[in-house]
């Protein structure tokens, strides 16, 4: 209209709210006119089904379209980043509705074992136990490619006098190349680190987490206590545990919090296998009709793509879940776990899952045959 090609415009979508701000005035609201004339709402859009779909499937599809899908994920910046476009209606949700359930990963693993949520983030470890109820979505993976969960202990390095060049307890730590925070790392050979850890109590964030399974593969049998992931630093600091198995943002903040790294399990796994360490994924209930499974997989993929293509706003949306991290550190953490493997596992990612769970099965840490099926 501004160019003079038309003298008036018929506006739909968000233009109904923004026309005045854009410098236009309203001549008529057709919805108001229709309501005053008929007493009825103005029908604008709907969803249709093809006639050749069998009647029983039509019924299932109709029920699903009117149902709200429960979507479980952890209150962490990487998950918030992945699901931003869905939560904020930035993409076409195809008429589906989603109820976001934010819970820690151990709780989500337990709920998946009971088949409670339609869609859920889970640990790859837990996939070995939920294959009868869920399919693994081909997108949404959290893979540690040369980095991953850490085992840490209290930093016993003496604090130097003022003027010393060594890092003091109150100095902001430097960032290491690639990821994470540069803390003091024990350089003992793997066997030395293993022997030290076997005699110590390790605080872990849950026995169904992939971090726990990776530690089993690295260490074998060990003593542990289960502690919520965000209380592990405190458990080590106050002496309830001698060491802690760290996931989430603690992988970046452990040095600043007064701890040293004993082993990076993602680095160990990469050196040993050449593969990324598969930590988390998203699953979809098998009882959802196949046509809707495909829709839901496409919606999640589009949400991930939207976040990657609109990084600044997706990171900003994630900040309430950053637990004290600044935007730069939160962005770094998101970049570690929302990457090309998140777009699609690919053959490398799928092989990583087979190797990870297969070794655990061979060594007796998983007590059943492993059935991993992907949404097609």
Structure confidence at residue 366 as a pLDDT band (50, 70, 90): very high
Mean pLDDT for the chain overall: 87
Instruction: Tell me if 108 sits within 8 A of 75, measured CB to CB.
Output: no
Average pLDDT over residues 141-149: 96
Instruction: Tell me if 39 sits within 8 A of 32, measured CB to CB.
Output: no
Average pLDDT over residues 115-143: 96
CA distance 107 to 122: 9
181 strand-pairing partners = 175
| Residue 116 predicted with pLDDT over 70 | yes
φ/ψ of 255, rounded to 5, equals -65, -45
Residue 341 CA to its chain's centroid (Å): 12
φ/ψ of 69, rounded to 5, equals -85, 130
Q: In the prediction, which pLDDT does 60 show?
A: 61
- Extract the tokens encoding 273: 């296998």
Q: Where in the chain is the domain with CATH 3.40.190.10?
A: 55-145+277-362, 150-273
CA distance 77 to 325: 10
pTM, two decimals, is 0.75
Q: Which tens digits make up the pLDDT trace of 211-223? A: 999 999 999 999 9
204 strand-pairing partners = 226
| Residue 345 predicted with pLDDT over 60 | yes
Q: Which residue spans within 83-172 are E strands per DSSP?
A: 97-102, 119-123, 134-136, 142-144, 150-154
CA distance 27 to 256: 61
φ/ψ of 322, rounded to 5, equals -85, -10
- Which of the two residues, 360 and 165, has the higher pLDDT score? 360
Residue 24 CA to its chain's centroid (Å): 43
Q: In the prediction, which pLDDT does 22 show?
A: 83
Structure confidence at residue 56 as a pLDDT band (50, 70, 90): low
Instruction: Tell me if 330 sits within 8 A of 322, measured CB to CB.
Output: yes
Whole-number Cα distances in Å, 323 to 76, 140, 177, 189: 8, 22, 23, 33
Average pLDDT over residues 333-350: 95
What b/e string do you get for 206-238 counting C-beta neighbours within 10 Å, with b at 16 or more?
bebbbbbbbbbbbbeebebeebebeebbebbee
Q: In the prediction, which pLDDT does 23 show?
A: 85
Q: Which tens digits make up the pLDDT trace of 180-223? A: 333 444 444 567 788 889 889 999 999 999 999 999 999 999 99
| Residue 55 predicted with pLDDT over 90 | no
Q: Which tens digits make up the pLDDT trace of 300-339? A: 999 999 999 999 999 999 999 988 889 999 999 999 999 9
Q: End-to-end CA distance of the chain, in Å?
A: 46
Range of weakest confidence among 23-32, 111-120, 144-153, 346-355: 23-32
3-class secondary-structure state, position 215: helix
- Other beta carbons within 10 angstroms of residue 35's beta carbon come to 13
Q: Which tens digits make up the pLDDT trace of 221-245? A: 999 999 999 999 999 999 999 999 9
Looking at the domain that runs over 150-273, which CATH code has it been given? 3.40.190.10
Q: In the prediction, which pLDDT does 66 show?
A: 56
Structure confidence at residue 59 as a pLDDT band (50, 70, 90): low
Whole-number Cα distances in Å, 184 to 174, 195, 242, 362: 11, 20, 17, 35
Looking at the domain that runs over 55-145+277-362, which CATH code has it been given? 3.40.190.10
Q: Which tens digits make up the pLDDT trace of 262-310? A: 999 999 999 999 999 999 999 999 999 999 999 999 999 999 999 999 9
CA distance 89 to 225: 41
CA distance 205 to 197: 17
Q: In the prediction, which pLDDT does 179 show?
A: 37
The listed range with the strongest mean pLDDT (43-52, 71-80, 157-166) is 71-80
Structure confidence at residue 32 as a pLDDT band (50, 70, 90): confident
Q: In the prediction, which pLDDT does 158 show?
A: 52
| Residue 164 predicted with pLDDT over 90 | no
Q: In the prediction, which pLDDT does 320 show?
A: 93
């Amino acid at each position: 209209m501004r160019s003079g090609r038309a003298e008036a415009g018929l506006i739909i979508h968000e233009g109904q709210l923004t026309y005045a701000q854009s410098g236009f005035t309203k001549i008529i609201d057709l919805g108001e006119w229709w309501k005053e004339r008929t007493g009825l709402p103005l029908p604008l859009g709907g969803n249709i089904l093809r006639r050749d779909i069998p009647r029983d499937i039509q019924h299932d599809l109709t029920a699903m379209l009117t149902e709200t899908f429960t979507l479980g994920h952890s209150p962490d910046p990487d998950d918030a980043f992945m699901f931003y476009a869905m939560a904020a209606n930035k993409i076409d949700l195809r008429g589906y509705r989603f109820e976001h359930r934010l819970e820690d990963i151990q709780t989500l693993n337990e709920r998946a074992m009971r088949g409670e949520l339609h869609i859920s983030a889970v640990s790859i470890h837990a996939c070995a136990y939920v294959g009868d109820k869920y399919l693994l979505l081909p997108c949404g993976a959290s893979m540690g490619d040369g980095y991953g969960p850490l085992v840490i202990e209290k930093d016993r390095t003496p604090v130097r006098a003022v003027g010393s060049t060594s890092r003091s307890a109150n100095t902001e730590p430097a960032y290491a190349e690639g990821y994470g925070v540069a803390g003091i790392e024990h350089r003992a050979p793997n066997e030395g680190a293993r022997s030290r850890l076997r005699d110590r109590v390790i605080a872990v964030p849950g026995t169904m987490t992939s971090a726990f399974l990776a530690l089993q593969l690295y260490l074998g049998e060990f003593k542990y206590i289960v502690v919520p992931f965000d209380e592990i630093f405190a458990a080590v600091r106050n002496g309830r545990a001698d060491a802690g198995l760290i996931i989430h943002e603690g992988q970046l903040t452990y040095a600043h919090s007064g701890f040293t790294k004993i082993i990076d399990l993602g680095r160990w796994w990469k050196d040993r296998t050449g593969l990324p360490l598969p930590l988390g994924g998203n699953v979809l209930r098998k009882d959802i009709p196949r046509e809707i499974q495909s829709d839901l997989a496409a919606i999640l993929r589009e949400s991930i793509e939207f976040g990657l293509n609109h990084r600044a706003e997706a990171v900003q949306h994630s900040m309430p879940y950053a637990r004290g991290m600044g935007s730069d550190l939160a962005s770094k953490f998101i970049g570690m776990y929302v990457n090309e493997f998140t777009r699609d596992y690919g053959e490398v990612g799928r092989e990583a899952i087979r190797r990870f769970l297969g070794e655990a099965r061979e060594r007796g840490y998983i007590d059943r045959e492993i059935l991993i099926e992907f949404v097609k």
